[in-house]
Amino acid sequence: MANHPDSDLVPYVRGELAPADRERVARHLEDCPECREDATAVRALLENLARSVPAPPPIHWGRWRAELRARLDGRRGRHAWWWRPVPLALSASLAGVLLVLAILGGPPRPTGSDPASVEEVLLGRRLELLRQLSLVERLDLLEDLDIIGQLDRLTATSEG
């Protein structure tokens, strides 16, 4: 006989099938001794299993509750500083301060990790000297004049 209601046997035995399905399975069982035997075996197996469910070991519920409480407290604490709702005024002030710092932030500083940026900053510090280049040149000239001014001393020395 085709279409044995294999997977319907458990719900049939447990009385879970809709009336139409129950009737269909019942009719099939009347004509099919193999399925009838299966249904009997399934019923016996379910009853035996239900009667012999292994009991879990005893547990100390007081200790279990204390551990649960500690776990809950720990979980709450884990979210503490960033997760807890901050009062609105404090949040707004903090946001304002961060905004001002972002806008008025100072010039970029060398990070130490980038040699090129360090070099740029050192060159920047020498810019003031470059602006006064004419004075520097004149200083060089003055040094020369100083030598020129002492030329007669050099001549006297060479003669002596």
Partner 1 sequence: MELSDEALCRRVAERDEAAFDLLVERYRERAWRLAWSVLRHAEDARDVTQEAFVRLYEAAGSFGGRARFSTWFYRVVLNLCLDHRRRNRWWRLWARDEDEAQGGGLLERQPAPSHDPVDQLGREQTMSALWAAVDRLAPRQRATVLLSVQEELSTAEIATVLKCSEATVRVHLHRALKTLRQTVERR
| Interface with partner 1, residue 140, by CB under 8 A | no
Site for partner 1 in 28-67 (CB under 8 A): 41-42, 45-46, 48-57, 59, 61, 64-65, 67
- Cβ closer to partner 1: 71 or 138? 71
Site for partner 1 in 56-115 (CB under 8 A): 56-57, 59, 61, 64-65, 67-68, 71-72, 75
Phi, psi of 90 (to 5 degrees): -65, -40
Cα separation, 15 vs 143, whole angstroms = 116
Cα separation, 38 vs 50, whole angstroms = 18
Helix axes 133-149, 151-159, angle to 10 degrees: 30
Maximum Cα interatomic distance, the chain, rounded to a whole number of Å: 147
Least Å distance, CB 6 to partner 1, is 5
Least Å distance, CB 16 to partner 1, is 5
Which of 2, 75, 5 is CA-nearest to residue 39?
A: 5
Cα separation, 21 vs 3, whole angstroms = 13
- Cβ closer to partner 1: 14 or 36? 14
Residue tagged 């200790």 (tokens): 63
Least Å distance, CB 8 to partner 1, is 7
What residues make contact with partner 1 under the rule CB under 8 A?
A: 6-11, 14, 16, 41-42, 45-46, 48-57, 59, 61, 64-65, 67-68, 71-72, 75
